[in-house]
Amino acid sequence: MNISSTVCALSTPVGTGGIAVIRVSGGSAFPICQKILKNKGKKLSERPSHQAFFSDIIDSTSGELLDQGLILPMKGPGTFTGEDTVEIDCHGGMYICRRILETLVQAGCSMAQPGEFTKRAFLNGKLDLTQAEAIMDMIDAGTRYSLKAASSQLKGRLLLEADELRNELLSMLVDIEVNIDYPEYDDLPEISDDDIQQKSMDINQRIKKLLVTADSGIRLREGLSTAIIGLPNVGKSSLLNRLLREERAIVTNIPGTTRDIVSEMADLQGLPVRLIDTAGIRETGDLVESLGVKRSFDAIEKSDLVLFVSDREFLLEEELKLLQSIGSKTWFFLINKTDTLQHEKASLEAILQKLSEEKLPLPRRVIHISALTGEGIDELTEEIRETFFSEDVLEKDMPLVTNLRQKEALIRASEALDRVTSSAGMPQDLLSIDLHEAADALGDLTGKSARDDVITQIFSRFCLGK
């Protein structure tokens, strides 16, 4: 991230209201925005801070009128990011937003990376790290369920649970350590080897329960990576449009500005589904043409779910070739009713038979859809929910692991406790190595470090000394 640049991004989900807000932040926010505004008033830099005004919004090169809206200039450091900031309230359509962002980029802005405003706010001293993390999660929450995950996080449910587990580990460590450092005391409570084993297993169970929800939790935050593949003209673009329009898409990136493979977030009845390489599908209309093949392989590589679209109930040679690249990924076989639906019926069994013969992976589900009418999309949504989002996570109010850092910390703690179990019979001071490791891992999650805590507790709980 280059903090000296000026960045822009859409700050509201497209279409959730009639108005969208585009935010521009950085040292050149005012002069850049000046280039896309046309009105009779003063220059942006001469206007009072934090006072909105009405203006035409134009294409900076052609002068074409793009939209009209309210412009709010705000001078740093009294802004969220601490930098000069301009907010542009425009109409909420995806096309308009895209055009305005494009012209801002032409005028000298860079597209903001996800969470960049928060990062800037943090780097400019406007937020501390924990606040920043929680806000980033809230911002990233694209859908109803994501928001739920983020707010559970904000309430600190995961942190509370991790802290409690850590305290139990610390208390066990205190019992072990005090006997090591004060062996001559005969009245200290000794913790038995069995106790250590039992408690470690109990704590490990609770960590593993948290981990079960981790993949779903992370998916809620980041969206389920999904690739749409298939031969030309089977209806991939119409499926894409259907998925994005069905519940109104949130554009997280603009093609060609930041990444090679662009993804868009679809909201399927609250489930965040990130469709990979939507640009590829849009630009070329298909992925199997010359350059398209490699792209579809890349998309498969990055995905958790592959939607394989076909418009007939049997498989062509090229399709079999494409399916070879799926490997062990979960895939759904979507049979799309197109206008030119070829009624060359073959039984589903025959298809599965064929796949087995070719030693190709079988689809998790086969779903008949119509990208044009929307038929079967509900069923698709239901299958996605069932396969990828655990019920526990969606409906129950339990602590959620929503990012990789948290997941890794929990795995580290759990592995350390596994080692305590497999090392039964070893002296306690050696078991304490892994108990410390587990406590440290949980401390990484909660932001605390263990060793001083153990020593403090030793002296507050026991009566020791000459």
Partner 1 sequence: MYQEQGADVAVIGGGHAGCEAALACARLGLKTILFAISLDSIAQMPCNPSIGGTSKGHLVREIDALGGEMGKNIDKTYIQTRMLNTAKGPAVHSLRAQADKFRYKETMKLTLEHTPNLRIRQNEIVKIHTEALEGSEGERKITGVETATGAYYPCRAAIICTGTYLNSRCIHGEYETLTGPNGMQSARGGLTENLASLGLPLRRFKTGTPARVDGKTIDFDKMTVQEGDAHIVPFSFENTADGIRREQKPCYLTYTNEKTHEVIRANLHRSPLYGGVIHGIGPRYCPSIEDKVVRFADKERHQLFLEPEGENTEEYYVQGMSSSLPEDVQRDMLRTIPGLEHVEIMRTGYAIEYDCIDPLFLEETLQIKTIRGLYSAGQFNGSSGYEEAAAQGLVAGINAAMALLEKEPLKIDRTNSYIGVLIDDLCTKGTNEPYRMMTSRAEYRLMLRQDNADLRLTPEGYRVGLISQERYEAFLQKKAMIEKEILRLQQTRALDEEGHSHGLMSDLLKHPENTYESLAAWDQGREPLPEAVWQQAEIQIKYEGYIRREEAAIAHFHKLEKRQIPEDTDFLSIQGLRLEARQKLNAVRPLSVGQASRISGVSPADINVLLVYLARKNSMKEEGEDTK
Beta strands in 196-270 (DSSP E): 224-230, 263-268
* Amino acid occupying residue 68: Q
* Separation in Å, CA 258 to CA 6, 154, 193, 378: 14, 29, 56, 32
Q: Does 427 contact partner 1 by CB under 8 A?
A: yes
Q: Does 341 contact partner 1 by CB under 8 A?
A: no
DSSP state of 193: H
Alpha-carbon gap, residue 7 to 12, rounded angstroms = 15
CB of 462 to partner 1, least distance (A): 8
Q: Tell me if residue 134 falls in helix, strand or coil.
A: helix
CB of 392 to partner 1, least distance (A): 29
Which residues inside 94-123 make contact with partner 1, applying CB under 8 A?
122-123
Distance of CA 122 to the CA centre of its chain: 20
| Contact pick of 87, 161, 177, 264 for partner 1 (by CB under 8 A) | 177
| Contact pick of 18, 62, 128, 344 for partner 1 (by CB under 8 A) | 128
Q: Does 430 contact partner 1 by CB under 8 A?
A: yes
Alpha-carbon gap, residue 40 to 358, rounded angstroms = 70
CB of 459 to partner 1, least distance (A): 4
Number of residues that bind partner 1 (CB under 8 A): 43
CA 446-450-453 angle, to 5 degrees, is: 110
| Contact pick of 311, 428, 438, 442 for partner 1 (by CB under 8 A) | 428
CB of 406 to partner 1, least distance (A): 13
Given the complex with partner 1, which of 4 and 290 has the nearer CB atom? Answer: 4
* Separation in Å, CA 227 to CA 195, 277, 451: 49, 7, 46
Contacting range for partner 1; rule: CB under 8 A; set: 271-279, 319-327, 380-388, 446-454: 446-454
Q: Does 404 contact partner 1 by CB under 8 A?
A: no
Q: Does 451 contact partner 1 by CB under 8 A?
A: yes
Contacting range for partner 1; rule: CB under 8 A; set: 124-132, 140-148, 285-293, 340-348: 124-132
Six-digit token string for 116: 């960049």
Given the complex with partner 1, which of 63 and 183 has the nearer CB atom? Answer: 183
DSSP state of 250: B
CB of 179 to partner 1, least distance (A): 8
Given the complex with partner 1, which of 186 and 194 has the nearer CB atom? Answer: 186
CB of 43 to partner 1, least distance (A): 28
Alpha-carbon gap, residue 47 to 71, rounded angstroms = 11
| Neighbouring residues of 430: CB distance < 8 A, sequence distance ≥ 6 | 423
Asked if residues 69 and 21 have their Cβ atoms less than 8 Å apart, the reply is: no
Q: Does 449 contact partner 1 by CB under 8 A?
A: yes
Q: Does 290 contact partner 1 by CB under 8 A?
A: no
CB of 429 to partner 1, least distance (A): 4
Alpha-carbon gap, residue 402 to 213, rounded angstroms = 9
Alpha-carbon gap, residue 297 to 308, rounded angstroms = 13
* Amino acid occupying residue 210: L
Alpha-helical (H) ranges within 107-156 are 116-123, 129-140, 144-154
Given the complex with partner 1, which of 187 and 357 has the nearer CB atom? Answer: 187
Q: Does 187 contact partner 1 by CB under 8 A?
A: yes
Binding site for partner 1 (CB under 8 A): 2-4, 122-125, 127-130, 177, 180-187, 425-430, 433, 436, 443-444, 447-449, 451-452, 454-455, 458-459, 463-466
